[in-house]
Amino acid sequence: MKVQYKMKRIEYLLLILFAIVLVAATVFGLVLKMYNVSLTLVLIDFPLALVIAVFASLGIREEEEAKTL
């Protein structure tokens, strides 16, 4: 059960990081007109989204395993 909480906490922290990077990319692109920085931040966001999806999938899998036991 303890591993499940740890996975959820990591998932939520990564989601917060994803949102911060996405907002920063928007601010750099639209407000500050720094398009190269904005594009770099968006390209960083894609692998981060993949990691979040993996953690979410593992968390769902652990929940299902806990229900069957």
More confident residue, 6 or 9: 9
Measured distance CA(10)–CA(7) in Å, rounded: 5
Measured distance CA(40)–CA(44) in Å, rounded: 6
On the question of pLDDT at 3 being above 70, the answer is no
Measured distance CA(25)–CA(11) in Å, rounded: 21
pLDDT at 37: 96
On the question of pLDDT at 1 being above 60, the answer is no
Enter the pTM of the model.
0.84
20-63 pLDDT, tens digit each:
999 999 999 999 999 999 999 999 999 999 999 998 898 888 88
What one-letter code names the amino acid at 27?
A: V
Measured distance CA(10)–CA(8) in Å, rounded: 5
